[in-house]
């Protein structure tokens, strides 16, 4: 029966792991699908980006088919205006009115002048005759000239006028030549002139034609799907090789994908509404990732985001170059965010970097000042201001995904906080012990490249469970008898063990972050309450002892920071029992304690290396020796 239950439990665990893996892969697939769907669909088949006065950044382009060269919009307007200068609107003569004077309304005269017409055609008795505008009068000007009242006798024939106008404009050709299949359009590195710019625009228009571009559009969308999938796969491979723990966390994967979705979606909106993509604060991605995780992952996620966005933006090479530099500056200037002002400093560095990078790449491509777009510097300034808004996102994501930032850790280390103040008031010995452990652990963490601020915070709270019954613990028994010594060793061990479960309850009741709760539950791992175990074993030498009565429930620490705290807690407590504080004695105590924990398998699930352990030994020995250094005795004053 027990075997069947164990098999059932293992099967359930495996199924749960499989479902989690499928869920994480589904998140990436959904992200890829959403990104391709929201990409701007205009000019899908013609993905080249170019500007007049800048070099062609692609391979030599030749025509895959014959297409006409369309005139530019300005050229068409000029030719239409020139053609319409010879056009004459048509008017009907009203029978019964004065024939010797051609009279129209004042509003009609103003319309003729505003449109630039110099002549009109008047139809009388089915015969049309053209008159100069100087021969046409309004009722007022006719009276001023002939000194008698003249009423309006001309009415515009709107239908005939529009028909003649349309017929005239239709005679104007929208094209001015033909590019034949196989003909070279532009070479790589060639400066885009007005002439070949118009040819490129004509090719783009040809691709936009539904009958011609359907196949190209399909292939373009397929290319987008492949590229987005490729970039996301590369990011997954990075996580699998270097950050497998992140890949196994569904919330972490969701956090990464949500960041990419937000920034790329904003880019698509900007492009759809004709705004510059440089208004979008792409630095959000590396900043947010660095605050909660590490620099390498922040940069890799930023590179992935920029690569995907480069598929849709104009001038992708310039965009990629500028944004990559921005990401590197953001991560470098925000190595560890411990002050709010650091975001302002980072934003300032980003603004300076974008300005320098854009100016440099423009000069490198064109070599002239006129190629600089002054609006770009305004876009960079707005982007820098939006980067500061990342602070609000830090708080939002922290609550949404239960992450913890350096700012929150600093707030938690404030010893004037209500919970730590209660610990200091009710269990002063435990509070002092926690302070010493936090200092030891932070020094060790710095020595091996672990998160010193995180382990310091965990150390301050690791023993808060002792608030419930502080007098059961020796550090708080000032001049009092130890009540545990009067109890059965098994019961005494359970009282000691209970400070872990009590600490977890207190931490959750005070809404401490999960990462801090983990320090409380793992700082003893599954180790033995050695004092009471040995006492009971000595008193019952022939009895088979149930070790579970003397072991903490765990779990064992799984991080470097958790292991450091376990070591520091045990060694600080051990150091208080020493009578000789020489460096050799302290080193021996440190080695014995760490070796016994290693032999007990307490660090089997942590990523500590042998070098890490040796560095931690060295730091603990040096720190405890310095704390317990010998002082000279002061001489008394002779009377």
Residue 619 is part of a domain; what is its CATH number?
A: 1.10.3210
Residue 527 above 80 pLDDT? Answer: yes
- Look up tokens 């699998």; give the residue: 240
DSSP state string for 50-65: --TTSB--SS-EE-SS
Number of structural domains the chain divides into: 3
Q: Assess whether 349 and 220 both reside in one domain.
A: yes
Strands 67-70, 175-179: parallel, antiparallel or unpaired by DSSP? antiparallel
Alpha-carbon span 215 to 438, nearest angstrom: 65
pLDDT (tens digit, 9 = 90+) per residue, 540-550? 888 888 888 89
Q: Assess whether 381 and 432 both reside in one domain.
A: no
Q: Write down which residue in 400, 427, 462 finishes a domain.
A: 400
Whole-angstrom CA distances from 142 to 96, 102, 551 are 17, 9, 116
Residue 25 CB contacts under 8 Å (≥ 6 apart), including other chains: none
Q: Assess whether 105 and 128 both reside in one domain.
A: yes
Question: pTM for the full model?
Answer: 0.67
Mean pLDDT of all residues in 113-125: 83
Per-residue confidence band for 45, with pLDDT thresholds at 50, 70 and 90? low
Q: Assess whether 386 and 415 both reside in one domain.
A: no
CA neighbor of 137 nearest in space, from 101, 167, 162, 169: 101
Q: Judge contact between 567 and 437, C-beta under 8 A.
A: no
Position 260 scores a pLDDT of: 96
Mean pLDDT of all residues in 60-66: 80
6 falls within a domain: no
Mean pLDDT of all residues in 499-518: 92
Q: Assess whether 250 and 356 both reside in one domain.
A: yes
Residue 9 above 60 pLDDT? Answer: no
Q: Which of 214-228, 266-280, 524-538, 598-612 has the lowest mean pLDDT?
A: 214-228
Position 252 scores a pLDDT of: 93
Alpha-carbon span 262 to 53, nearest angstrom: 33
Alpha-carbon span 282 to 222, nearest angstrom: 26
CA neighbor of 277 nearest in space, from 248, 305, 245, 251: 305
pLDDT (tens digit, 9 = 90+) per residue, 120-178? 888 887 788 888 888 888 888 888 888 777 888 888 888 888 888 888 888 888 888 88
Mean pLDDT of all residues in 448-469: 92
Highest mean pLDDT among 204-208, 477-481, 507-511: 507-511
Position 613 scores a pLDDT of: 94
Per-residue confidence band for 209, with pLDDT thresholds at 50, 70 and 90? low
Q: For 638, phi and psi rounded to 5 degrees?
A: -70, 135
Note down the domain range covering 144.
Answer: 75-170
Residue 54 above 70 pLDDT? Answer: yes
19 falls within a domain: no
The three-point CA angle 378-379-383 to 5° equals 120
Q: Assess whether 238 and 358 both reside in one domain.
A: yes
Q: Which of 42-56, 371-385, 494-508, 615-629 has the lowest mean pLDDT?
A: 42-56
Q: Assess whether 232 and 359 both reside in one domain.
A: yes
pLDDT (tens digit, 9 = 90+) per residue, 389-442? 888 888 888 888 888 888 788 888 888 889 999 999 999 999 999 999 999 999
Q: Residue 226: enclosing H or E segment and its boundaries?
A: helix 210-242
4 falls within a domain: no
Residue 55 CB contacts under 8 Å (≥ 6 apart), including other chains: 189, 190, 191, 192, 365, 366
Position 44 scores a pLDDT of: 45
68 falls within a domain: no
CA neighbor of 484 nearest in space, from 467, 494, 472, 498: 472
Helix pair 284-292, 295-309: axis angle to 10 deg: 150
pLDDT (tens digit, 9 = 90+) per residue, 297-319? 999 999 999 999 999 887 788 89
Q: Write down which residue in 170, 201, 236 finishes a domain.
A: 170
Q: Assess whether 350 and 465 both reside in one domain.
A: no
Position 204 scores a pLDDT of: 79
85 falls within a domain: yes
Q: Write down which residue in 334, 365, 400 finishes a domain.
A: 400
Residue 582 above 70 pLDDT? Answer: yes
Position 98 scores a pLDDT of: 56
638 falls within a domain: no
Q: Judge contact between 460 and 520, C-beta under 8 A.
A: no
Position 43 scores a pLDDT of: 45
pLDDT (tens digit, 9 = 90+) per residue, 230-241? 999 999 999 999
Burial pattern 24-60, b for ≥16 Cβ within 10 A else e, equals: beebbeebbeebbebbeeebbbbbbbbeeebbbbeee
Residue 27 CB contacts under 8 Å (≥ 6 apart), including other chains: 250, 253, 254, 257
Q: Assess whether 500 and 605 both reside in one domain.
A: yes
109 falls within a domain: yes
Q: Assess whether 490 and 595 both reside in one domain.
A: yes
Q: Chain-wide mean pLDDT for the chain?
A: 86
199 falls within a domain: no
Q: Residue 627: enclosing H or E segment and its boundaries?
A: helix 610-627
What's the distance, Cα to Cα, between the start and end of the chain in Å?
Answer: 86
Q: Assess whether 593 and 482 both reside in one domain.
A: yes
Position 373 scores a pLDDT of: 82
Position 129 scores a pLDDT of: 86
Q: Assess whether 507 and 592 both reside in one domain.
A: yes
Q: Greatest CA separation found in the chain?
A: 145
């Amino acid at each position: 029966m027990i075997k069947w239950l164990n098999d059932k439990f293992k099967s359930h665990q495996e199924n749960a792991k499989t479902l989690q893996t499928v869920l994480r892969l589904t998140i990436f697939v959904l992200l890829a699908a959403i990104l391709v769907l929201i990409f701007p669909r205009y000019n899908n088949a013609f993905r080249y980006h170019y500007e007049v006065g800048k070099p062609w950044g692609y391979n030599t382009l030749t025509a895959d088919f014959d297409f006409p060269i369309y005139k530019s919009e300005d050229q068409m307007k000029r030719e239409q205006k020139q053609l319409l200068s010879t056009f004459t609107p048509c008017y009907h003569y009203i029978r019964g009115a004065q024939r010797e004077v051609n009279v129209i309304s004042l509003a009609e005269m103003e319309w003729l002048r505003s449109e630039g017409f110099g002549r009109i055609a008047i139809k009388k008795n089915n015969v049309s005759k053209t008159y100069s505008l100087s021969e046409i009068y309004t009722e007022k000007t006719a009276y001023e000239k002939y000194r008698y009242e003249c009423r309006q006798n001309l009415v515009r024939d709107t239908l005939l006028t529009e028909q003649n106008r349309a017929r005239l404009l239709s005679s104007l050709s929208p094209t001015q030549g033909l590019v034949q299949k196989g003909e070279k359009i532009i070479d790589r590195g060639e400066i885009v002139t007005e002439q070949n710019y118009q040819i490129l625009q004509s090719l783009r228009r040809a691709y936009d034609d539904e009958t011609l571009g359907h196949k190209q559009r399909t292939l373009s969308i397929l290319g987008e799907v492949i590229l987005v999938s490729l970039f996301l796969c590369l990011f997954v491979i990075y996580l699998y090789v270097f950050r497998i723990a992140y890949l196994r966390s569904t919330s972490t994967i969701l956090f990464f994908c949500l960041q990419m979705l937000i920034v790329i979606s904003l880019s698509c909106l900007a492009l759809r509404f004709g705004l510059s993509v440089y208004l979008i604060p792409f630095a959000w991605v590396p900043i947010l990732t660095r605050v909660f995780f590490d620099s390498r992952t922040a940069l890799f996620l930023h590179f992935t985001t920029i690569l995907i966005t480069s598929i849709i933006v104009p001038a992708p090479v310039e965009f990629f170059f500028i944004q990559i530099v921005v990401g590197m500056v953001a991560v470098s200037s925000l190595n560890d965010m411990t002050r709010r002002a650091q975001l302002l400093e980072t934003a300032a560095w980003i603004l300076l970097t974008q300005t320098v990078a854009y100016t440099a790449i423009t000069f490198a491509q064109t070599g002239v000042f006129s190629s600089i777009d002054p609006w770009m510097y305004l876009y960079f300034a707005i982007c820098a201001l939006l980067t500061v808004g990342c602070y609000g996102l830090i708080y939002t994501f922290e609550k949404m995904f239960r992450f913890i930032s350096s700012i929150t850790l600093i707030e938690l280390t404030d010893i004037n906080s209500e919970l730590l103040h209660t610990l200091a008031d009710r269990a002063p010995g435990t509070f002092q012990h926690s302070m010493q452990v936090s200092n030891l652990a932070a020094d060790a963490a710095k020595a091996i490249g672990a998160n010193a601020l995180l382990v310091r915070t965990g150390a301050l709270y690791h023993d808060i469970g002792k608030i419930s019954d502080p007098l059961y613990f020796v550090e708080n028994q000032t001049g009092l008898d130890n009540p545990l010594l009067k109890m059965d060793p098994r019961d005494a061990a359970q009282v000691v063990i209970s400070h872990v479960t009590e600490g977890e309850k207190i931490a959750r009741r005070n809404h401490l972050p999960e990462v801090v709760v983990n320090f409380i539950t793992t700082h003893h791992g599954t180790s033995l309450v050695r004092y009471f175990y040995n006492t009971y074993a000595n008193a019952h030498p022939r009895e088979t002892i149930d070790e579970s009565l003397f072991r903490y429930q765990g779990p064992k620490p799984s991080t470097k920071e958790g292991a450091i705290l376990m070591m520091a807690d045990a060694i600080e407590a051990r150091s208080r029992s020493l009578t000789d504080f020489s460096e050799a004695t302290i080193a021996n105590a440190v080695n014995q304690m760490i070796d016994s924990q290693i032999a007990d398998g307490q660090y089997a699930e942590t990523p500590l290396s042998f070098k890490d352990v040796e560095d931690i030994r060295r730091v603990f020995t040096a720190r405890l020796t310095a704390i317990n250094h010998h002082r000279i005795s002061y001489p008394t004053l002779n009377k």
